[in-house]
Amino acid sequence: MSAYKGIILLFLMQCFLVGSNQIKAQVKSIASDKKVFVEEASDAIKLDGVLDEATWQNAVAGKDFHQIFPYDTSLAVTKTQFKLSYDEKNLYVAIIARDAKEGGYVTESLRRDFRGRGYDGVSVVIDPFQDKNNAFLFGINPFGVQREGLVANGGTIRGSMSLSWDNKWYAFSKIYPDEKYWIAEMAIPFKTLRYKEGLDQWNINLYRIDSKTGERSSWMPLARNLRPYNLGMTGKMLWDKPTKKPGANVSIIPYIAGGVSKNHLAGEPTNSNFNIGGDAKVAITPSLNLDLTFNPDFSQVEVDEQVTNLDRFEIGFPERRQFFLENGDLFANFGLRNQRPFFSRRIGVAIDTATGQNVQNDILFGARLSGRINKDWRIGLLNMQAAKDDQIQLPSINYLVTALQRRVWEKSNLGFIFINKQAIGNSTDERDISQMYNRLAGVDFNYVSDDNRWFGKTFYHHSFNNEKNNKSYSHGASLNYTTQNLSYGWEHRVIGDDFNPEVGFTPRRGYTSINPEIQYLFFPKNSSVVVSHGPGFETEHIWNRDGLYTDRNIEFNYEVGFQNLSTLRMSLQQDYTYLFFSFDPSRSGGLRLPEGTGYTYNSYRISYNSDERKAFNYEISTSGGEYYAGSLYRFSSEFNYRFQPYGTISALFSYNRVDQPEPYSDANIFLVSPRFDFTFTKSLFFTTFLQYNSQFDNININSRLQWRFKPVSDLFLVYTDNYFYDFTDRTNNFNVKNRALVLKLTYWFNL
């Protein structure tokens, strides 16, 4: 208990230091503020990459972009300007991106939602509510490929920008090779944005990636340790007239899907199916949106990339279903990593109690109200009804999630969440269905300092079910400090033995942990090869609720960043694991190491990421050393070859060699995944990839043809296949497990 009090004391001291810097940081932020004017268009704007309209000729440009990488102390070498205008329906953005060097541009493909450190492009980040917590992102590259996303958590942490959000907007790019620049024009419908009427200014920033120089630049000056979409440093776009209400905004997105499937493993006959359903989006206010779904179908969503799991606990995969994405941070960002009270992928999935495997659980209908009440308040209400499944004795389940967020100070917020998972209808087993529920209530405080150097959170969550439990709590805190050279972080968490968030993701219960880390980077001034390098230290210590020391990880690392955007990382680490349940390190079903034994083991890791601007680029990683009572050696690689601008061929390979002394099992685990991603045009895409995972003796093929015949309206043809394959015993290989072919049509109607 005394150690835990020390944790709390350290956290409070850090918060005190944060507060002492707020006034100085605020002055610095105001001093660096920049403005750009938005005037109503005087003539019709055509998206053609030619800025010959009188509107563009008379508009005042935003300019003087600042370099973020490789340095952040000067104006950008590649000059970029932008202009803004609007009419009754759209916000218009014109971008003039000049080149400092000759040469072509780099794009991964013509597929929407491109991303990467070395690909050309300009992105516009718009924060209509000026809360510096959430924003819209719209990007375009010289080939006219678009991307759109949502920024959450102020853009301060990894994963705070998601490109999974999809919506209607229009853009065009034109390259002028002789003059060495390219021009882009955007038309963003006001109905696509969420904002309050009557405002005379919004927050805005633009950032650019230039492949020829490797430079990243931003209209607002940003330190290179910050992400370019960080909302702490944004300029102002000043409207010539207060913003008007965008008018009625109702969209209907029906779908029709049909297909055939067969479960060969279970010996079932071929099954034909036909589904209709769809979604609706209703703007209750310009900033508050109601999403409805009926009989949703997610057959077009790309399958998860398989991984090798040698851990004792469950692995989480990202949410890809469109319905759960907009304002998803309202629900998903409570807690810390591996300690989330809400995990949307629990909805639509059930556990077959006979096999212990996850199976699909159809969703009947759902609704979600999310967005802003005003500048200070955000609200999220989610209600989903899943279908009954008599085959696995599962009743119909209702999921209700309520989230409320209140802005505190300039960039911080206080969040509340309540989750109710409730069985309804008739009981399918011996239990009283009225007792089949799981609930959770929690509160989170998220902090970001005015100068963006400090950020963190503290929280408390409590779960409830029909059993009387005394240790159904989870609480913790994190605090991070980052500057150009120095960054450090602290996390601690306490999870009770009985904490049970059935709609969350908490792979482990009944422990206390602390996790401090620190990194220092040097930035050589006269090096033409190395941009940054420096050491780091990270450690995690875990105790169970009886005070028994169960886990320790200590890691020393050194990172090197090169001018050509490649990176090298080397690390040495020591682990200690106490097995509170028996465990087979090979995950092969062999004899388990006994419960109550402890192991200390040392290992190394080296990884290298090459320059992704090159047509051929790769990532390689190797590690090895002691592992429980034996050893573990790993090698993984991903090789990519880009047929610009039409697509990429890639191949992922992973090998894990587990050696344990007799009588315990060894294992050779392979994961091979070639992938072909081809874009015939900016509206016709074909992706196919094969995954072989020896850990599950499975070969999976997933192929998807997508035709975007109108904005956000698609025709999908999806083929999936699973085969049995055991490379140690090839007698029964290539037996089909299951196979499916789906044709799906979606169309976006604006009413």
In this structure, of 344-353, 585-594, 712-721, the range with the lowest mean pLDDT score is 344-353
Q: CATH number for the domain including 107?
A: 2.60.40.1190
Rg of the chain taking only CA atoms, in angstroms: 27
559/195: higher pLDDT = 559
522, pLDDT greater than 80: yes
- 454 close to 481: Cβ distance less than 8 angstroms: yes
566, pLDDT greater than 50: yes
Q: Is residue 545 part of a domain?
A: no
* Percent of the chain that is helix, strand, coil (3-state, to 5): 10, 50, 40
CB atoms within 10 A of CB 280: 17
> What pLDDT shows up at residue 471?
86
Confidence of residue 30 (pLDDT cuts 50, 70, 90): very low
> What pLDDT shows up at residue 430?
47
pLDDT tens per residue, range 57-78: 999 999 999 999 988 889 999 9
> What pLDDT shows up at residue 31?
37
> What pLDDT shows up at residue 246?
76
What whole-number distance in Å separates Cα of residue 331 and Cα of residue 291? 15
Residue 209's closest CA among 95, 45, 338?
A: 95
**Phi/psi-derived region of residue 715, left when phi > 0, alpha when psi is between -120 and 50, beta in every other case:** beta
Average pLDDT over residues 317-329: 80
What whole-number distance in Å separates Cα of residue 688 and Cα of residue 717? 11
Range among 318-322, 465-469, 598-602 rated most confident? 598-602
> What pLDDT shows up at residue 135?
92
Average pLDDT over residues 562-582: 94
Query: Would you state the structure tokens that stand for residue 121, as one six-digit string?
Result: 């492009």
Confidence of residue 27 (pLDDT cuts 50, 70, 90): very low
Range among 23-37, 279-293, 343-357 rated most confident? 279-293
What whole-number distance in Å separates Cα of residue 151 and Cα of residue 366? 25
pTM: 0.85
Please report where in the chains the tokens 């070498």 appear, as a residue: 77
- 347 close to 421: Cβ distance less than 8 angstroms: no
- 246 close to 137: Cβ distance less than 8 angstroms: no
On average, the pLDDT of the chain sits at: 88
Which stretch of DSSP H or E encloses residue 448? strand 437-448
Q: Is residue 230 part of a domain?
A: yes
Average pLDDT over residues 289-310: 82
Bridge partners of residue 66, in order along the sequence? 75, 218
28, pLDDT greater than 90: no
Long-range contacts at 554-562 (CB < 8 A, ≥ 24 apart): 558/533, 558/534, 559/519, 559/521, 559/532, 559/533, 559/534, 560/530, 560/532, 560/533, 561/530, 561/531, 561/532, 561/533, 562/529, 562/530, 562/531, 562/611
> What pLDDT shows up at residue 723?
86
> What pLDDT shows up at residue 145?
95
pLDDT tens per residue, range 616-639: 999 999 999 999 999 999 999 999
> What pLDDT shows up at residue 165?
82
9, pLDDT greater than 60: no
Confidence of residue 573 (pLDDT cuts 50, 70, 90): very high
pLDDT tens per residue, range 647-685: 999 999 999 999 999 999 999 999 999 999 999 999 999
Q: Is residue 234 part of a domain?
A: yes
Q: Quick one: how far is CA 486 from the chain centroid?
A: 25
Q: Is residue 305 part of a domain?
A: no
What whole-number distance in Å separates Cα of residue 47 and Cα of residue 57? 15
Helices 2-20 and 22-31, packing angle to 10 deg:
40
> What pLDDT shows up at residue 632?
95
Q: Which residues of 356-384 are buried (b: 16+ CB within 10 A; e: fewer)?
A: eeeeebebbebebbbbbeeeeebbbbbeb
Q: Is residue 161 part of a domain?
A: yes
CB atoms within 10 A of CB 179: 10
- Write the DSSP string, 197-251: TT-SEEEEEEEEEETTTTEEEESS---TTS-TT-TTS-EEEEESSPPPP----EE
> What pLDDT shows up at residue 434?
58
301, pLDDT greater than 80: no
Percent of the chain with pLDDT over 90: 64
pLDDT tens per residue, range 272-293: 989 999 999 998 887 888 999 9
590, pLDDT greater than 80: yes
At 704, the amino acid letter reads R
Q: Is residue 191 part of a domain?
A: yes
Distances (CA, A) of 202 to 42, 186, 239, 267, 722: 21, 17, 8, 60, 50
> What pLDDT shows up at residue 22?
40
- 740 close to 717: Cβ distance less than 8 angstroms: no
- 278 close to 297: Cβ distance less than 8 angstroms: no
> What pLDDT shows up at residue 228?
92
- 336 close to 491: Cβ distance less than 8 angstroms: yes
746, pLDDT greater than 60: yes
Domain count, the chain: 1
Average pLDDT over residues 120-133: 92
242, pLDDT greater than 90: yes
Average pLDDT over residues 417-437: 74
In this structure, of 555-559, 665-669, 724-728, the range with the lowest mean pLDDT score is 724-728
Please report where in the chains the tokens 């941070």 appear, as a residue: 329
CB atoms within 10 A of CB 71: 12
Q: Is residue 372 part of a domain?
A: no
Structural domain range at position 43? 34-239
Query: Would you state the structure tokens that stand for residue 383, as one six-digit string?
Result: 């209600």
Q: Is residue 47 part of a domain?
A: yes
> What pLDDT shows up at residue 567?
96
| Torsion sign across C-alpha atoms 110, 116, 122, 128 | positive
Confidence of residue 14 (pLDDT cuts 50, 70, 90): very low
> What pLDDT shows up at residue 588?
85
